[in-house]
Structures are given as structure tokens and as C-alpha cells.
């Protein structure tokens, strides 16, 4: 069965049989669409998906920075989808039957030190096409703490150059304003005033800040690949993603004594509890310092 027919049937099932809200149905359908998009190049229909496809999909969404909690929710949506397909006798066995969800704990995210960020930026070859674009991407991910989706959706009219801030549309379509340093703005100008003007921009993408060589907006996967490539070139062995720069941005602010409410606002967190994660990271940083340098902590 093709994906469109299966998805339409699933939507009707969720509405009529399970009486779910429009919001919940949209979330389930979004989960299915993510898997369909991932498998698009394989040409597989819904009844041809196997366990290995699901494992590769879960690895992919983990690598692009989707949190363990969000991974678990997506997995739950896909399990519901294949449960429906079994009820309709479209598939005999769910490819998710033996798949376990990610462990959701309080594991602290990976953070880059300033010298590691500097090494990644130094690894960018500015003589190459779009070298300045890649430098501006790293600068803005770190200097503004953007989510990768916010970065790829950034528009030219969201950059308020003279006032020194970015206007960002975050989760749930909520807008926030983030100050941007003059140095980071300068890197952005070097890209937009020169490299970007050499690109044949396709219709519908004229206002996107970051473009690929074909004149369309960057994908999250492309940004992920840029970051991974620079980390490798800089000799960094940590497992990092674009989201690592957001964690680093917040951690460095808290370590420097920034007000937690200000950090919350810049990150666009709904709750201060989410932002408080970085105070725990700061505590761990202090403890590691004591363990390294104070004899009484060495046992």
C-alpha cells in the first residue's frame, strides 16, 4: 500500500475510532511523514518497511539533534501507525515490534570548549565556494544559541543589522529577539554581500539567509553534515551536532554568571526548569575543577 492511502486511513482511524483531538492527530501524522521522507529514496511502501529501516531512521533523527524524549514520542507514533496497519490486515508484523525506545534520563549534553569552537572555525577553508557561509553558520549557531530549524528558516528580513539583533521564529511559532555580536554580524555580511549574491536563487527562496549551491534553502541534514565535517577536520572526537552549539552557548553564559531568566529568554524555553539544566552542568564543571586541583577531592 502507498503511504498516502495508509496515512489517510490512519487519520480516519485516529479521528473516528480513537476520538483524538486535531492536535494529537497532527502529531501522529507528522511522525509518519518523518519516516516516509526518510525512506523516500528507497521507494519502499508501508508494507515493505523492515526493522533495519526503523533502526536507521532512529539513528538519523538522533544524529540531527532530536532529543531522546522527542525520539520516544516519534517512536510511539510509529508504533500506533503500524498497530493500525495490522488491524487493517495491511501488514502481518510490525517492523517496530522489537525496537526499544531511547532511555530518557538526566544525561548532560555534550558541550564544546571555546578552543574547540575556535578550532572548528579555523578549519573552514574560506577560499572554497560558500566557505564564508559555513563560517557564518557556526558563528550564529554558537553566538545566538539557535536551534538548527531556526537557523535554516532564518530570513533576510529577520536580520536587523543596524540594531544588532535577530528576530527568530521558534517552537510553536513563538517569536523571540536575540542580540548578535558585531563580529558575528560581520561574518554574516561577508556571506550575504558576496557569496550569496553569486548564487542563482530559485523562486520561493529569495528571502532565506542560508542557501545551498542550487539556490534553495539548506536542510537540517546539510547543516549537520557541515558541523560533522568541521569537527573531523578540527580533530574533535566528541559526538556533536548543530544542537551542541546551543548547549555550549547556554553553558558558557551560565558559567559566566548570566541571569538564568535572560538565558531562558534567549533560548526560547517555555519553562525555567528546562534552562536550569545548565546550572547542573555548571555545578559539574565546578566539581571537576575541584577534583582536578584540590587534594581533598582526590580519593
Which entry of 171, 174, 194, 238 is annotated as an active-site residue? Answer: 171
Look up cell 521522507; give the residue.
37
Find the catalytic residue in 84, 142, 191, 278. Answer: 278
Report the distance separating Cα 227 and Cα 244, nearest Å. Answer: 10
Catalytic residue among 79, 135, 246, 247: 246
Whether 246 is catalytic is yes
**Residues 263 and 250: beta-carbon distance below 8 Å:** yes
Q: How far apart are the first and last CA of the chain?
A: 62
- Distance of alpha carbon 232 from alpha carbon 252, whole angstroms: 23
Instruction: Check if 62 is active-site.
Output: no
Yes or no: say if 187 and 136 are a contact pair by the CB < 8 Å rule.
Answer: yes
For the beta carbon of residue 87, count every other beta carbon within 10 angstroms.
Answer: 11
From 73, 176, 189, 269, active-site residue: 269
DSSP annotation of 91: -
Bridge partner residues of 155 (DSSP): 208
Instruction: Reduce the DSSP state of residue 127 to 3 states and report it.
Output: coil
- Choose, from 196, 243, 247, 252, the residue flagged as catalytic: 243
171 is catalytic: yes
Cell readout for 232 is 573531523
- Has 8 been annotated as catalytic? no
Among 171, 176, 208, CA closest to 192: 208
Coil, helix or strand at residue 96: coil
Q: Please identify which of the residues 133, 147, 220, 252 carries the catalytic annotation.
A: 147
* Catalytic residue status for 155: no
Helix (H) or strand (E) holding 275: helix 272-275
Q: Tell which residue, 24, 29, 40, has the closest CA to residue 6.
A: 29
213 counts as catalytic: no
Which of these, 231, 242, 221, lies nearest to 109 by C-alpha position?
242
* Active-site amino acid positions: 147, 171, 243, 246, 269, 278
Amino acid at each position: 500500500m502507498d503511504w498516502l492511502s495508509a496515512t489517510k486511513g490512519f487519520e480516519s482511524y485516529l479521528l473516528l475510532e480513537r476520538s483524538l483531538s486535531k492536535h494529537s492527530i497532527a502529531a501522529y501524522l507528522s511522525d509518519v511523514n518523518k519516516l516516509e521522507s526518510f525512506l523516500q529514496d528507497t521507494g519502499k511502501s508501508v508494507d515493505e518497511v523492515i526493522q533495519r529501516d526503523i533502526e536507521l531512521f532512529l539513528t538519523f533523527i538522533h544524529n540531527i539533534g532530536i532529543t531522546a524524549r522527542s525520539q520516544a514520542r516519534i517512536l510511539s507514533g510509529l508504533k500506533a501507525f503500524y498497530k493500525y496497519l495490522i488491524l487493517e490486515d495491511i501488514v502481518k508484523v510490525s517492523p517496530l515490534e522489537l525496537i526499544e525506545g531511547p532511555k530518557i534520563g538526566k544525561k548532560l549534553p555534550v558541550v564544546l570548549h571555546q578552543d574547540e569552537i575556535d578550532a572548528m572555525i579555523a578549519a573552514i577553508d574560506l577560499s572554497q565556494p560558500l566557505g564564508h557561509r559555513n563560517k557564518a553558520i557556526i558563528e550564529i549557531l554558537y553566538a545566538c544559541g539557535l536551534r538548527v530549524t531556526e537557523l535554516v528558516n532564518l530570513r533576510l528580513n529577520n536580520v536587523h543589522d543596524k540594531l544588532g539583533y535577530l528576530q527568530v521564529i521558534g517552537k510553536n511559532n513563538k517569536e523571540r529577539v536575540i542580540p548578535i555580536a558585531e563580529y558575528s554580524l560581520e561574518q554574516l555580511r561577508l556571506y550575504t554581500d558576496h557569496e550569496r549574491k553569486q548564487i542563482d536563487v530559485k523562486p520561493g527562496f529569495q528571502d532565506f539567509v542560508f542557501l545551498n549551491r542550487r539556490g534553495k534553502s539548506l536542510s537540517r541534514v546539510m547543516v549537520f553534515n557541515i558541523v560533522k565535517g568541521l569537527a573531523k577536520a578540527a580533530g574533535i572526537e566528541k559526538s556533536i551536532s548543530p544542537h551542541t552549539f546551543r548547549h555550549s552557548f547556554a553553558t558558557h553564559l551560565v558559567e559566566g554568571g548570566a541571569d538564568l531568566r535572560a538565558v531562558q529568554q534567549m533560548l526560547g524555553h517555555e519553562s525555567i526548569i528546562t534552562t536550569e539544566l545548565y546550572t547542573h552542568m555548571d555545578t559539574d564543571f565546578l566539581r571537576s575543577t575541584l577534583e582536578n586541583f584540590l587534594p581533598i577531592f582526590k580519593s
